[in-house]
Amino acid sequence: MIELLVVIGIIALLSSVILSSMTQARAQADNAKQIADYRVVLNALLQFKQDNGYYPSDNTNYTCIGTYSGGCKVVSSSVPNSTSMNNSLQKYLSSYNFLDKTVTIISSGYFPMSNDYKGFVLSCTNRDTQCNKGYLLFPALKNKNSCPQIMSDVKTGDDIVTGIDEYTWCSVELN
């Protein structure tokens, strides 16, 4: 009887270790998928600028990239879907499917976080008649609540744009 209890205890210990490892692996895979999505959108914007000399925009301060039910969600407000942005980037994102689901970020910090993040937003900061400079805004990694380094030569910040909760959105400066 004691041997049976020891075997059951060992099996329980091993299963808890395996489940813990699987949870961590799943979180790492989710983060890797998010970072890959960010790279796809950033590359599309950079390729568009290389081909055209400016970034696509619908002449507003914030433009939603992709199509989402209700538009992109930025903290407690929404940025409407942009047909002109989607048409401009279609050549560069033709095989990319935007996931229409919110990203939940959990924080125990002082600053309140919304759980209402969805999509990619282009913020145009320098515009004559076209968008020449701006920021790509996107939600922080959902499992780490941090901003990833998307590419080795592109700096990612988490506190650049005012007017949007600077502790919830990451940004990449586009020159």
Q: Are strands 72-74 and 77-79 parallel, antiparallel or unpaired?
A: antiparallel
Helix (H, G, I), strand (E, B) or coil at 102: coil
Query: Which residue type sits at 169?
Result: W
CA 139 to mean position of chain CA atoms: 4
Nearest to 133 by CA among 44, 46, 7: 46
Whole-angstrom distance, CA of residue 98 vs CA of residue 103: 13
Rounded average pLDDT over 39-48: 89
Task: List pLDDT tens digits, range 13-26.
Answer: 999 888 888 888 88
- Residue 49's pLDDT band, with cuts at 50, 70 and 90, is very high
pLDDT of residue 10: 94
State the average pLDDT over residues 99-127.
59
Cα of 20 vs its chain's centroid, Å: 25
Q: Answer yes or no: is pLDDT of 132 > 90.
A: no
Mean pLDDT across the chain: 75
In the chain, where are the structural domains located? 28-174
| Cβ partners under 8 Å of residue 137, min gap 6 | 62, 74, 120, 121, 122, 123, 161, 164, 169, 170, 171
Query: Does the pLDDT at position 48 exceed 70?
Result: yes
Report which residue type is found at 44. Answer: A
- Which tens digits make up the pLDDT trace of 66-94? 888 877 876 556 788 888 888 888 888 87
pTM: 0.71
DSSP string, 29-65: HHHHHHHHHHHHHHHHHHHHHHHHSSB---SSSEEEE
